[in-house]
Amino acid sequence: MHFLEELAKTFPEDRLLIDKELLSPYESDGLTAFAVTPRAVLIPETQEEVVEIVRACVKHKVPFVSRGSGTSLSGAALPVETGIVIALNRLNRVIELDPERRIARVEPGVVNIDVTKAAQVHGLHFAPDPSSQIICTIGGNVAFNSGGAHCLKYGMTSNHVLGLKAVLATGEVVEFGNSSLEDTGPDYTGLFGGSEGMFGVALEIILRLLPKSETFHTILAGYNSLEKAGDAVSAIVASGILPGAIEIMDRLAIDAAEAAVDAGYPEEAKAVLIVELEGPQEQVESEKRELETIINASNPIEIQVAKDTTARLKIWKGRKSAFSAVGRLSPDFIVQDGVVPRKRLGEALRRIEQLGKKHGLRVANVFHAGDGNLHPLILYDGTIEGELERGENLAGEILEMCIEMGGSITGEHGVGMEKRSYMPKMFTNDDISFMKKTRTAFDPDGIANPGKMFPEGQAPALTLYGLHPLEKKGIISRE
């Protein structure tokens, strides 16, 4: 029996999509430059159905790409033409929420923010907070080891995954880890995190929850140069304070945020720095005084201290909306998420500016300054001949700069489709061949999310970059 006929026995028409117009929403993810129409989209409602689909794929050697909300910025959920997409959104149950063990056991289609919503009655929250958290799913967060603004202190998604159940690309259903903070033997849970969907599909994930911080102190400082903002970061880091978040935005990004949400950022500033302290009241009180001294000494032109939660959220709203807001300044843009050592941030920004001039393109910068994670937004107009190519070249040169400085090509978006050609610049042939062997153990036929992470393979033709339709509506935003 043919592959789809076999699945049609379980899946009714509305959960096995084959009509072209029904497939079109699945052609792209957050990286809209790429679009591929899959053979079919399967919409399972139970874990058993996911297992059934994967086993059918194994039997017929059909490639599959699992997908949550499709917010990936690296083309992680780009379909394969000969394969299917497994849309996991209906596997969205919080199976267990246990305050005593401080864990949540969830299905992969649960939206990131919904974990915190379910946990907050117990005063708990799920720490990883990618900017797309109101729509991105835990399955995608785990597969790409997503980050957010609070990684310096709390780490990335993998640091909050204690265990998981998954169906591998061999059809085997496995359990790794457990509900405890500790584990025995090799950390398979850790290996599965960030494997970019190439090992299989997670069915259940055990997340670590943390008590919500007792208090927050958020301060925004405006500077007349990016360099001064960068120096302030160095001074904070050297002081021994460990803030929950340290973010910087440049003028272009500030303009975008202002135009979009009227965040009230300083009008004259060339850069703004956002620092957030969080923790027990007395500790924050003590660090607050220290931070104030450091910021005052860093020559800001304006300081705003969030007096209450509303003011705090306003500061964050500007920051979190900055990416999609850049869409107001330019019809198209490319975003990168390379990492450089923190002490070289100033140098990196100067070089990005020079590279932008060289290619005749504007670059807006929003970045997680605490951990050196850059987010240059390269603005271009796809209707002007040659701008897309120049933008691509500029993006590539920025990534090469990150590697040269001893950093990484990706801090939190993953390699996916987008950055795979840069893997050989960061890793040796031996490293990559070792990764491939590992992958083969999980996926001997190469059917799980093929074409991602590794350099070879035919890339689909580039189309215009632009905002995701949901971004245009202001529903989602980027990190």
Distance CA 129, CA 261 (A): 20
| Structural contact between residues 424 and 175, judged by C-beta atoms closer than 8 angstroms | no
For residue 129, count CB atoms less than 10 angstroms from its CB and return exposed for 0-12, middle for 13-18, buried for 19 or more: buried
Distance CA 374, CA 370 (A): 10
* Structure token digits, residue 222: 């405006």
* Structure token digits, residue 197: 């969907």
Whose Cβ is closer to other proteins: residue 12's or residue 186's?
186
Whose Cβ is closer to other proteins: residue 151's or residue 401's?
151
Q: How far is the CB of 187 from other proteins (least distance, A)?
A: 4
Q: How far is the CB of 357 from other proteins (least distance, A)?
A: 26
Q: How far is the CB of 1 from other proteins (least distance, A)?
A: 26
Whose Cβ is closer to other proteins: residue 177's or residue 327's?
177
Distance CA 49, CA 208 (A): 27
Distance CA 26, CA 221 (A): 41
Distance CA 51, CA 440 (A): 19
Q: How far is the CB of 375 from other proteins (least distance, A)?
A: 12
Whose Cβ is closer to other proteins: residue 26's or residue 192's?
192
Whose Cβ is closer to other proteins: residue 314's or residue 342's?
342
Q: How far is the CB of 465 from other proteins (least distance, A)?
A: 21
Q: How far is the CB of 332 from other proteins (least distance, A)?
A: 25
Q: Which residues contact 95 (CB under 8 A, 6 or more apart)?
A: 105, 106, 107, 204
CA distances to 55, 82, 215, 414, 423 from 109, in Å = 20, 24, 31, 19, 29
| Structural contact between residues 335 and 394, judged by C-beta atoms closer than 8 angstroms | no
Q: How far is the CB of 228 from other proteins (least distance, A)?
A: 17
Distance CA 191, CA 277 (A): 31
Distance CA 364, CA 374 (A): 11
Q: Which residues contact 456 (CB under 8 A, 6 or more apart)?
A: none
Distance CA 371, CA 196 (A): 22
Whose Cβ is closer to other proteins: residue 318's or residue 407's?
407
Q: How far is the CB of 419 from other proteins (least distance, A)?
A: 8
CA 271 to chain CA mean position, Å: 24
Whose Cβ is closer to other proteins: residue 30's or residue 222's?
30
Whose Cβ is closer to other proteins: residue 6's or residue 397's?
397
